[in-house]
Amino acid sequence: MQIRGLFHIHTTYSWDGKVTLDKLASLCRKERYKFIVITEHAESINDKVMENFIQKCESLSTGDVIIIPGLEFICNEIHIIALGIRGHFSQHKDVEDLINAIHNNGGIAILAHVSYYKEIPYEKLKNIDGIEVWNVRYDGRYAPSIKALRVLRKFKSLNNRIVAYGGLDLHNEHEFGKLSIVMEINDNKQIDYDTILNLLKTGNFKVTNNLIVINFNNISALSLMPIVILRLIHTPLHLTKKIVVKIFKIIQQISNLR
Ligand SMILES: [Zn+2]
Ligand SMILES: [Zn+2]
């Protein structure tokens, strides 16, 4: 069975989030999203709020929607998402220290919106578990940016096990569902917190904007070509959705043939 979910979501627990967690949970139920990865700004959270936030995620996670709590830290202007952490910890001055703290807390560390940075301190990020290659807020909803694809290639060359994600960076309700994560789950397997977190950690998912589907975690230089071409043509030509999908499929077929 295929299930879908949303990644990189801010709710009113973040200083700039406009949607409540309750509202998001009910939107997920209505639109049949099975999981949602919340990434609140760490500077908006203290120990007490963290406790309340985790409890709230648990109480809203009933059988049909799983809510995974996470935080987004800003450290030397680098944004790091922490998933699967159980407690709260204070800000760190150094990115490497922050990543270690996330690991010591049982979590995974993901570099958020890779196209946002002027320069990426690869040396400081050698222990990072994942990167958010496509972020709708910075890259748009049509295709990931060429810059981000270049960063993906660089990270993969440094560490082939790094997992690539696509996220919304949602702050407002109208952004809901523009980009989702789809994963395959055995029909007899329980859909629970651990199953979903595990598939997220291991990169067993694809990313879709409801037009094209990309598996960033099984990508060759050649299969990047359709995305690059799509990115180059869609803005200047103002193509319709239907044409974009058609062109993407044709280029994908051609590049697979070679
Ligand atoms: Zn950010
Ligand atoms: Zn964010």
Question: Is the pLDDT at 217 greater than 60, yes or no?
Answer: yes
Do 119 and 244 have their domain in common? no
Q: What was the pLDDT predicted at 258?
A: 44
Do 190 and 235 have their domain in common? no
Average pLDDT value for residue range 10-24: 97
Find, among 38, 36, 64, 34, the residue nearest to 50 by Cα.
Answer: 38
Looking at the 3D structure of the chain, how many domains does it have?
Answer: 2
Find, among 4, 57, 38, the residue nearest to 199 by Cα.
Answer: 4
Distance 188 CA to ligand 2 centre (A): 34
Find, among 167, 184, 209, the residue nearest to 36 by Cα.
Answer: 167
Confidence bin at 221 (pLDDT 50/70/90) = low
Do 61 and 187 have their domain in common? yes
Do 18 and 129 have their domain in common? yes
Q: Which domain holds residue 245?
A: 220-258
Question: What is the residue-averaged pLDDT of the chain?
Answer: 89
Do 224 and 120 have their domain in common? no
Do 151 and 228 have their domain in common? no
Average pLDDT value for residue range 211-232: 74
Average pLDDT value for residue range 218-240: 68
Confidence bin at 241 (pLDDT 50/70/90) = confident
Cα–Cα distance between 36 and 61 in angstroms, integer? 10
List, as ranges, residues with CB under 5 A of the ion ligand 2. 72, 169
Do 38 and 161 have their domain in common? yes
Give the pLDDT confidence of 135-174 residue by residue, as tens digits.
Answer: 999 998 888 888 898 899 899 999 999 999 999 999 999 9
Average pLDDT value for residue range 43-63: 92
Do 146 and 191 have their domain in common? yes
Distance 207 CA to ligand 1 centre (A): 19
Distance 79 CA to ligand 1 centre (A): 5
Note whether 223 and 206 are within 8 A (CB): no
Question: From the CB of residue 100, how many other CB atoms can be counted at a distance below 10 Å?
Answer: 14
Confidence bin at 63 (pLDDT 50/70/90) = confident
Do 212 and 224 have their domain in common? no
Q: What SS3 class is residue 73?
A: strand
